[in-house]
Structures are given as C-alpha cells and as structure tokens.
Amino acid sequence: MAETMSDRTRPMAPPVGAPARDVSVPGLIKSLADDVTHLFSQEVALAKSELRSAVADLKAGVLSLAIGLGILFAGFMVLLGAAVAGLSLVVETWLAALIVGGVVAIIGLILLMKAKKSLNPEAMVPNRTIESLKRDEEMVRRTVS
C-alpha cells in the first residue's frame, strides 16, 4: 500500500459517530488529561477486582484449612486413643501416651508449616495491575515527550 507524505501527516478523522475532537494544543492537552483520568480510573477498578479475587481465594483457603484441621483433629483423637491403648500392651501406659503424643505433634507441625506456605502474602500482590500501571506510565511519558 503506497502512502504519500500528505497521507501520513494528515490528522486522522474521528471514528464515525464519535464526537469531533479539538486538535488545538489546549484541546490535545485536555484530551490527554481526560484520557489519563479515564485510564487511572480503569487501573483502580482493575486493582479492586484483583484484590477482591485474591481475598476471595484467601477466604476459601482459610475455610478449607479450618474444616480440614477440625476433621483431622477428630480422626486423630480416635486414632490416638487406639494407638496409646495398643502401645500400652508393650510399654507402660504413660510412655505409650508420650510416644504417640510426640509423633502426632511432629506430624501436626509439618502440616502447619505446609499450610503457612500456601498462605503466602506475595499471592496478594496485584501483579497484573502493577505491570499495567508501568506500561501506562511509559506510554504517558512517551506521549508527553
């Protein structure tokens, strides 16, 4: 497609049905300010949306964790009683309770450490919004200069 110099330098016509834009310097500055304001409000809306999603995921994770711990606790109580009763046939009852309790405490600690990793605060950072804001900042800098 061959273009002439005048085609490249001629201002673009507004889209059909769009209001005519003022192409004077003050008009362009006003248009830029309006665009930046609109862009900023869209970025804020994106950040809110991302944070709502992250909070919803966090709530679901915490609820699931609490329910799982409750059920796990009930099952362990029954199993602990059986383990202490079975081990007390081999060693003294107090020693059986101590051994079973120590093993269960270690297992519980491992499970809590794993849950702590899944509730990482870095998952709450709105990465897409931050990247988008950086791109927008760069675009505005290029437009202004």
End-to-end CA distance of the chain: 30
Q: Output 141 or 144, whichever has higher pLDDT.
A: 141
Q: Alpha-carbon distance 54 to 117, whole Å?
A: 16
Q: Give, in order, the Cα–Cα distances in Å from 34 to each of 38, 87, 98.
A: 6, 76, 71
- The mean pLDDT of 46-65, rounded to a whole number, is 88
What b-and-e string marks burial along 18-45, b requiring 16 or more CB atoms within 10 Å of the CB?
eeeeeeeeeeeeeeeeeeeeeeeeebee
Question: Per residue in 66-115, pLDDT tens?
Answer: 999 899 889 878 888 999 999 999 999 999 999 999 998 999 899 898 88
Mean residue pLDDT across the chain: 81
Determine what percent of the chain is predicted with pLDDT higher than 90: 24
Average pLDDT rounded to a whole number, residues 113-128: 77
Give the pLDDT band of residue 21 (cuts 50, 70, 90).
low
The amino acid at residue 145 is: S
- The least confident of 21-30, 39-48, 72-81, 117-126 is 117-126
The fraction of the chain above a pLDDT of 70, given in percent, is 83
Alpha-carbon span 123 to 125, nearest angstrom:
6
Angle between helices 25-87 and 127-144 (to 10 degrees): 160
Mean pLDDT computed over 23-30: 81
Stronger pLDDT, 75 or 145, i.e. the higher one:
75
**Banded pLDDT at 136 (limits 50, 70, 90):** confident
pLDDT of residue 1: 46
